[in-house]
Structure 1
Amino acid sequence: MADIRLFPLEDAKRNNADVDRWLARQTGELQIIARRWCNELRRAGPDILDLLHDGHPTACVGDLAFAYVNAFTEHVNVGFYLGASLEDPSKLLQGSGRFMRHVKLRPGQALDDNALVQLIKAAYEDMKARHLSRNKPYP
């Protein structure tokens, strides 16, 4: 498996308190959305670690970032570091970058929750395989 663009981060921890503090600072419906999807990232696998990177929650497998949640003024993004390589039959992913893609979530907007959960699981499994292929210590 080729490492097309891995994004290693240090200092990730299981259920990082910094992430919880970030979530507590969000407000209204955006907080509810952000908390829901941060929790989904944390549930993707038993070995998920997280931290704040660039000011927002980022989920990792070992030291490799695979997804993030970020809240903006009117929406929340769930982003994937290698999202361009994910199968997306529901066409949720947005963006045109070489590697990254995101799903934009707005209060009151319908979403196929199951499709987003499947993207999270696929991103996790992909990054777990990439981590294992690096022959680095695994959590």
Structure 2
Amino acid sequence: MSEAHNAKPSRLMLFPDALPHQPAIDDWFAAKPALLGDIARHWFVVLRQCGPDVQELLHDGHPTVCVGTAAFAEVNVFTAHVNVGFFRGALLPDPQGLLQGKGKFMRHVKLKPGEPVDTVALLQLIHTAYSDMKVRVQAN
């Protein structure tokens, strides 16, 4: 069984200031260029809806979602693309090869306007990241 799916405790990024809804995040989206902001907002709404224990905050200046207080994903807007990032992404199964990055834990999916996205695969990554973090939180 891979580390992504075992119940052993692991280092978690904990944010005690996470809340069920942070109005500052809505303001963050409103301040972004429409096309990129709309892409980021869409995927953040998907992240928010993963479960009743999802909380959120602005971390390092961009929207982050947590299982309780343990971060599992984020979105960020850049000049020409949006990233959907996963805090334990290096350990997630990614059969479609969407994840990018070389960090020890963090991986992201890069979304560009006008380029197709494998929505099914991205949804699977999101739900796997959420489920994986639930297991990690319960093990701690």
TM-score (norm 1): 0.93
Secondary structure, in 3 states, of the residue corresponding to 1:21? Answer: helix
AA matched with 2:14: P
Deviations 1:33-54 (A, max 9, x none): 0110110100111211000000
Any unmatched runs of 5+ in structure 2? Answer: 1-6
AA matched with 2:88: L
AA matched with 2:119: D
Q: Is the 8 A contact 1:8 1:64 kept in 2?
A: yes
Q: Is the 8 A contact 1:67 1:123 kept in 2?
A: yes
Any unmatched runs of 5+ in structure 1? Answer: 135-139
Q: Is the 8 A contact 2:9 2:139 kept in 1?
A: no
Alignment of 1:74-93 (within 5 A): 74-93=80-99
Q: Is the 8 A contact 1:5 1:82 kept in 2?
A: no
Partner of 1:57: 63
Q: CA RMSD in A?
A: 0.9
2:138 paired residue among 115, 124, 132: 132
Partner of 1:71: 77
CA–CA distance in structure 2, aligned partners of residues 70 and 5 of structure 1: 23
**How many correspondences in the alignment?**
134
Secondary structure, in 3 states, of the residue corresponding to 1:84? Answer: helix
Partner of 2:103: 97
Deviations 1:51-79 (A, max 9, x none): 00000000000110000000011100000
Select the structure with the greater relative contact order (CA < 8 A; seq sep ≥ 6): 2
AA matched with 1:16: Q
Partner of 2:33: 27
**1:132, distance to aligned residue in structure 2 (A):** 1.1
